């Protein structure tokens, strides 16, 4: 069955315009990529590493989280994207792909472009190497224009399946720790620090989901480092939406002709576990297409703003997420 493939493409696939009365702000369209999943996607993408623990420097371009990489001798940056199942590359640099029949990228405003596939011989990031990797090829040229940085593509979740993932945006590092079948780190000298919070994380067709609360009610959120902002679904109950301090309203004009209303605001009553987090930026718009594509109700997305709250530990083998909150996080 055809599925939608979600990445930080929720903001990052297609250049569009937010029109706000007499103000025009350039931004990225909210988009979903449709693709044909294969049973082998999680058994491929085997990482070649020289040690059991690797530290990869991160760079920032606005709210984008970047990793310096060399892909088939092309040097540039990959966007760290826990919201993406696969490796996605920029057609500006990787053109020789084969078209996938019936597969298109698109957003809330309509279909945009056909997707291609390509076989990549080698990817290197710091001390980690991948060889003979399948990649989806799409046009990401607009991202380079907006952020003025060379973007090779998105570094997706299937590339990280062999590791415990540690994301520290305050120190701007990504730690990857190889683990055994039980999720225990193979590097005996690498001791997992104490954490403030541990909770279950669920992998649903390549999307990481957690339960968090707005007010006293629990909702389902997907974790997406590739999204520049948090997103709440506009169909949430009023008791949830009324906790948002709306700062402005705009209309999203995508590559299609339709306009989509978007609200921007501040989250005032959000909590994960027993930890209350206030002051995070969010957008409010429909996530119906995403929910329909995955067959599960998705109430919101937690993007870069959420990952800036503390050091995040993702143990995919044990289906656990841990957070060591930074000291300036309000509870």
Q: For residue 316, give the nearest of 148, 136, 102, 160 by alpha carbon.
A: 160
With a cut of 60, say whether residue 40 has pLDDT above it.
no
pLDDT at 145: 85
Q: How far is CA 240 from CA 223, 245, 268, in A?
A: 19, 11, 10
Higher pLDDT, 140 or 261: 140
Query: In whole numbers, what is the pLDDT of the chain averaged over residues?
Result: 81
- For the chain, the structural domain boundaries read 3-178, 197-325
With a cut of 70, say whether residue 199 has pLDDT above it.
yes
Q: For residue 137, give the nearest of 93, 174, 179, 192 by alpha carbon.
A: 93
Enclosing H/E stretch for 288: helix 288-294
d(CA 95, CA 84): 21
Burial 108-141 (b: 16+ CB within 10 A, else e): bbeebbebbbbebeebbbeebebeebbbbbbebe
With a cut of 70, say whether residue 57 has pLDDT above it.
yes
Q: Is the dihedral of CA 20, 22, 23, 24 positive or negative?
A: positive
Please name the CATH architecture into which domain 3-178 falls. Answer: Beta Barrel (2.40)
User: If you average pLDDT over residues 245-268, what whole number do you get?
Assistant: 78
Please name the CATH architecture into which domain 197-325 falls. Answer: Beta Barrel (2.40)
Query: 């027993």: which residue's tokens?
Result: 274
Within 13 Å of residue 6, how many CA atoms lie on the same side as its CB? 28
Structure tokens at 147: 């952020």
pLDDT at 95: 80
Q: For residue 225, give the nearest of 314, 281, 306 by alpha carbon.
A: 306
User: If you average pLDDT over residues 176-191, what whole number do you get?
Assistant: 90
Tens of pLDDT along 221-252? Answer: 999 999 989 999 999 999 999 999 999 998 76
d(CA 14, CA 315): 32
d(CA 89, CA 104): 15
Strand partners, 31: 107
Higher pLDDT, 278 or 16: 278
Q: How far is CA 196 from CA 11, 171, 243, 313, in A?
A: 30, 18, 25, 11
Tens of pLDDT along 296-318? Answer: 899 999 999 999 999 999 999 99
Query: 């990481």: which residue's tokens?
Result: 208
With a cut of 80, say whether residue 197 has pLDDT above it.
yes
pLDDT at 285: 92
Q: How far is CA 231 from CA 156, 186, 262, 288, 324, in A?
A: 20, 36, 10, 12, 23
With a cut of 60, say whether residue 62 has pLDDT above it.
yes
User: For the CA atoms of the chain, what is the radius of gyration?
Assistant: 19
Domains 3-178 and 197-325 share a fold: yes
pLDDT at 4: 37
> What percent of the residues of the chain are helix, what percent strand, and what percent coil, each to the nearest 5?
10, 55, 35
With a cut of 70, say whether residue 255 has pLDDT above it.
no
With a cut of 50, say whether residue 22 has pLDDT above it.
no
Backbone angles phi, psi at 178, to 5 degrees: -65, 140
pLDDT at 49: 87
Within 13 Å of residue 124, how many CA atoms lie on the same side as its CB? 8
Max CA separation in the chain (angstroms): 59
Tens of pLDDT along 139-171? Answer: 888 888 888 899 999 998 889 988 999 999 999
The percent of residues in the chain predicted with pLDDT above 90, rounded, is 56
Tens of pLDDT along 95-139? Answer: 865 554 444 444 444 444 557 888 999 999 999 999 999 999 988
- Is the CB of residue 331 less than 8 Å from the CB of residue 318? no
pLDDT at 8: 39
């Amino acid at each position: 069955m055809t599925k939608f493939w979600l990445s930080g493409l929720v903001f990052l696939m297609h250049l569009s315009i937010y029109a706000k009365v007499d103000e025009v702000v350039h931004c990225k369209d909210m988009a979903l990529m449709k693709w044909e999943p294969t049973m082998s996607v999680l058994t491929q993408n085997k990482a070649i590493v020289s040690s059991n623990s690797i530290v990869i420097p991160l760079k920032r371009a606005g709210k984008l989280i970047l990793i310096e990489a060399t892909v088939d001798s092309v040097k540039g940056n990959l966007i760290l994207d826990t919201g993406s199942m696969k490796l996605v590359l920029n057609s500006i640099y990787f053109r020789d792909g084969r078209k996938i029949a019936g597969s298109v990228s698109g957003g809330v405003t309509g279909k945009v472009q056909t997707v291609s596939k390509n076989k990549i011989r080698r990817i290197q990031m710091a001390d980690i190497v991948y060889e003979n990797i399948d990649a989806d090829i799409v046009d990401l040229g607009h991202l380079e224009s907006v952020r003025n940085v060379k973007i090779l593509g998105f570094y997706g979740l299937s590339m990280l399946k062999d590791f415990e993932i540690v994301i520290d945006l305050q120190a701007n590092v990504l730690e990857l720790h190889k683990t055994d079948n039980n999720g225990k780190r193979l590097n005996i000298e690498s001791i997992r620090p104490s954490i403030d919070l541990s909770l279950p994380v669920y992998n649903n067709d390549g999307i990481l989901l957690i339960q968090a609360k707005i007010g006293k009610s629990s909702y389902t959120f997907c974790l997406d480092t590739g999204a520049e902002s948090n997103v709440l679904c506009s169909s949430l109950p009023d008791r949830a939406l009324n906790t948002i301090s709306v700062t402005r309203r705009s209309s999203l004009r995508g590559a299609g002709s339709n306009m989509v209303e978007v609200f921007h605001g501040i989250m005032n009553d959000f909590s994960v576990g027993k930890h209350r987090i206030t002051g995070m930026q969010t957008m409010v718009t429909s996530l119906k297409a995403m929910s329909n594509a995955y067959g599960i109700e998705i109430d919101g997305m937690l993007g870069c703003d959420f990952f800036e709250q503390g050091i995040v530990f993702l143990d995919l083998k044990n289906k656990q997420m841990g957070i060591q909150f930074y000291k300036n996080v309000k509870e």
